[in-house]
């Protein structure tokens, strides 16, 4: 049910006896909540549960199609893609929507409530921030950003507007019940006192450079808009056809750090209640200015929180994926190992198991919570956002949660690039022991593109 400001609820309960003066007062309160109060006390407005959202879909090929189902019951009024062929396909599902190739024009489509964005990573923070600036709810594919600065700008802007906007980053594995079972086990002491969380993914890439010029872009593809804010690169058809064709290049993505990192780090992040790290370090393939390393290890130090001491978090990718850690085999391609002083918990997305410190010690120290006290299932991931737009604005992977998580990971890439352990002041977003690292917290944009439009 929609949660209204307390006063509004009270006034609506009494609508049958409203005097004209009371009605005007109620209407003013309702307007503050984005609602229209009709005579008789009925609600109409952007936050009423029956309201159909007016939605723009940006990036409607590839991953974009995975979100069509969640918004089919809404009013999809705008479709945007730099590839007109993708728009033609999407228009078969949403035939009355207006078509755009430039997301900046699309965001100014009249009367929008909400945006679903599934474009390339290097445009995410832009589309997110421009949407927030226009008062639009947004579902944004992961990762939220492609630099530390982008993550901070979007998160800060969201925090200013969170009283009226629902945001969600496309970390949909978060809805798998195992995520919450892992959180419960860690909070309930299954591993004892938590010390270190290891997280990994085994994808590799073999690119060593941006692709050379190869032919002209096909007539349906707006290549200059595909590049958007990133430095210019010549067209090559090898960039087209899904995120694994472009996300290993610094100007377009952060390889597995933002890709599977957004999913697998979430498995850990959901269970450790972490804020920003105080330090980061990273080692991997030798630095290449064109591509993000395929093999990489990054370690972060996190301060204590109210229920646990300081911990370390380590991310491994590609050939750095460990085969075992402290004698525990880490078989899944993507997974996490939570190490405590009494046991470890080994998890992939769907299941987890406990590994006691010694066979003799076993798991007798841990009593799983009764089923009735389990965290309630969140339901459909995209659907949660749609309902949040119309209701209490609360989502599991909002821009605060997801922004903090990706800021940590992207900071690790900065540490890798400077080749030393960096100390981080998360309150102000500055590295305190490396001016060189501070220069790498942000990216350069092509003239004419601004993050804050």
Ligand X SMILES: NC(=O)c1ccc[n+]([C@@H]2O[C@H](COP(=O)([O-])OP(=O)(O)OC[C@H]3O[C@@H](n4cnc5c(N)ncnc54)[C@H](O)[C@@H]3O)[C@@H](O)[C@H]2O)c1
Q: Using the rule CB under 6 A, give the single segment among 62-70, 378-386, 391-399, 417-425 that binds ligand X.
A: 62-70
Q: Using the rule CB under 6 A, give the single segment among 3-11, 12-20, 56-64, 349-357 that binds ligand X.
A: 56-64
Instruction: Look at residue 65 and give its three-state secondary structure.
Output: helix
Does the CA dihedral 127-131-133-134 come out positive or negative?
A: positive
**Nearest to ligand X of 59, 340 (CB atom):** 59
Strand partners, 343: 356
Shortest approach of ligand X to residue 106 CB, angstroms?
A: 8
**Nearest to ligand X of 102, 301 (CB atom):** 102
**Nearest to ligand X of 2, 384 (CB atom):** 384
> Which position among 103, 255, 300, 316 is part of the footprint of ligand X (CB under 6 A)?
103
Shortest approach of ligand X to residue 244 CB, angstroms?
A: 7
Task: Decide if residue 217 touches ligand X (CB under 6 A).
Answer: no
**Nearest to ligand X of 99, 161 (CB atom):** 99
Residue closest to 169 by CA, chosen among 409, 437, 335: 409
Tell me, residue by residue from 160 to 199, as one string, x for binding to ligand X by CB under 6 A and - for no binding. ----------x-x---------------------------
Task: Decide if residue 259 touches ligand X (CB under 6 A).
Answer: yes
The conformation of residue 304, written as its DSSP 8-state character, comes to -
How far is the CA of 303 from the CAs of 68, 273, 300, 307, 450, in angstroms?
Answer: 41, 11, 10, 11, 34
Q: Kindly state the number of chain residues that form the binding site for ligand X, as judged by CB under 6 A.
A: 28
Which residues in the 21-50 window bind ligand X by CB under 6 A? none
> Which position among 4, 8, 62, 320 is part of the footprint of ligand X (CB under 6 A)?
62
CB under 8 Å to 155, separation ≥6 — which residues? 144, 399, 400, 403, 404, 407
Shortest approach of ligand X to residue 85 CB, angstroms?
A: 8
Q: Give the CA diameter of the chain.
A: 75
Question: What distance in Å separates the CA atoms of residue 310 and residue 304, rounded to the nearest whole number?
Answer: 4
Task: Decide if residue 228 touches ligand X (CB under 6 A).
Answer: yes
**Nearest to ligand X of 296, 311 (CB atom):** 296
Tokens, residue 153 = 């700008």
Task: Decide if residue 119 touches ligand X (CB under 6 A).
Answer: yes
- In DSSP notation, 97-166 reads SEEES-HHHHTT-TT--EEEE---HHHHHHHHHHHHHTT-EEEEPSPS-SSHHHHHHHHHHHHHHTTT--
**Nearest to ligand X of 178, 438 (CB atom):** 178
Strand partners, 328: 325
> Which position among 33, 46, 78, 82 is part of the footprint of ligand X (CB under 6 A)?
82
Question: What distance in Å separates the CA atoms of residue 226 and residue 113, rounded to the nearest whole number?
Answer: 25
Strands (E), 279-351: 279-284, 296-302, 311-317, 324-325, 328-329, 334-340, 343-347
Instruction: Look at residue 280 and give its three-state secondary structure.
Output: strand
Shortest approach of ligand X to residue 68 CB, angstroms?
A: 13
Which residues in the 83-102 window bind ligand X by CB under 6 A? 83, 86
Tokens, residue 146 = 């492609």
Shortest approach of ligand X to residue 142 CB, angstroms?
A: 5
**Nearest to ligand X of 370, 447 (CB atom):** 447
Q: How far is CA 336 from the centre of its chain?
A: 19
The conformation of residue 204, written as its DSSP 8-state character, comes to -
b/e for 128-158, b at 16 or more Cβ within 10 A? bbbbbeeebbbbbbbbbbbbbbbbbbbbebb
Shortest approach of ligand X to residue 221 CB, angstroms?
A: 7
**Nearest to ligand X of 63, 207 (CB atom):** 63
Task: Decide if residue 332 touches ligand X (CB under 6 A).
Answer: no
Q: Using the rule CB under 6 A, give the single segment among 224-232, 300-308, 315-323, 345-353 that binds ligand X.
A: 224-232
Tell me, residue by residue from 126 to 155, as one string, x for binding to ligand X by CB under 6 A and - for no binding. ---------------xx-------------
> Which position among 58, 112, 345, 451 is part of the footprint of ligand X (CB under 6 A)?
58
CB under 8 Å to 131, separation ≥6 — which residues? 107, 115, 117, 137, 138
Catalog residues that contact ligand X under the rule CB under 6 A. Answer: 58-64, 80-83, 86, 103, 118-121, 123, 141-142, 170, 172, 225-226, 228, 242-243, 259
């Amino acid at each position: 049910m929609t949660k209204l400001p307390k006063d509004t609820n009270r006034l609506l309960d009494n609508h049958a006896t409203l005097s004209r003066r009371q009605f005007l007062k109620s209407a003013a309160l309702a307007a503050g909540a984005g609602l229209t109060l009709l005579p008789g006390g009925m609600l109409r407005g952007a936050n009423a549960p029956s309201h159909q959202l007016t939605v723009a879909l940006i990036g409607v090929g590839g991953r974009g199609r995975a979100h069509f189902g969640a918004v089919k019951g809404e009013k999809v009024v705008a479709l945007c893609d730099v590839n007109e062929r993708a728009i033609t396909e999407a228009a078969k599902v949403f035939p009355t929507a207006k078509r755009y190739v430039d997301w900046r024009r699309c965001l100014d489509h009249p009367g929008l409530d909400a945006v679903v964005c599934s474009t390339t990573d290097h445009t995410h923070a832009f589309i997110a921030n421009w949407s927030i600036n226009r008062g639009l709810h947004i579902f944004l594919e992961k990762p939220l950003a492609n630099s530390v600065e982008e993550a901070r700008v979007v998160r800060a802007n969201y925090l200013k507007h969170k009283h009226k906007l629902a945001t969600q980053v496309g970390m949909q594995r978060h809805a798998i019940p195992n995520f919450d079972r892992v959180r419960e086990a860690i909070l309930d002491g299954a591993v004892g006192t938590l010390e270190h969380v290891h997280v990994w993914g085994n994808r590799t890439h073999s690119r060593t450079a941006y692709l050379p010029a190869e032919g002209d872009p096909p007539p349906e593809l707006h290549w200059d808009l595909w590049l958007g804010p990133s430095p210019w690169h010549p067209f090559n058809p090898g960039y087209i056809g899904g995120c694994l064709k472009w996300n290993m290049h610094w100007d377009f993505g952060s390889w597995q750090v933002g890709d599977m990192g957004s999913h697998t780090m979430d498995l850990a992040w959901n269970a450790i209640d972490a804020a920003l790290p105080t330090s980061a370090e990273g080692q991997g393939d030798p630095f290449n200015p064109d591509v993000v390393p395929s093999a990489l290890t990054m370690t972060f130090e996190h301060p204590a929180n109210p229920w646990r001491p300081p911990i370390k978090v380590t991310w491994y990718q590609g050939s750095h994926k460990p085969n075992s850690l402290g004698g525990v085999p880490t078989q899944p391609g993507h997974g996490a190992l939570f190490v405590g002083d009494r046991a470890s918990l080994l998890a992939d997305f769907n299941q987890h198991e406990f590994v006691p410190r010694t066979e003799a010690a076993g798991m007798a120290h841990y009593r799983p919570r009764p089923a009735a006290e389990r965290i309630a299932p969140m339901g459909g991931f995209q659907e949660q956002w749609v309902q949040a737009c119309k209701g209490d604005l609360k989502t599991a992977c909002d821009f605060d949660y997801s922004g903090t998580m990706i800021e940590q990971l992207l900071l690790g890439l900065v540490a890798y690039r400077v080749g030393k352990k960096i100390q981080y002041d998360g309150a102000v977003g500055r590295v305190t022991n490396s001016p060189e690292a501070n220069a790498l917290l942000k990216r350069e944009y092509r003239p004419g593109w601004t993050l804050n439009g």
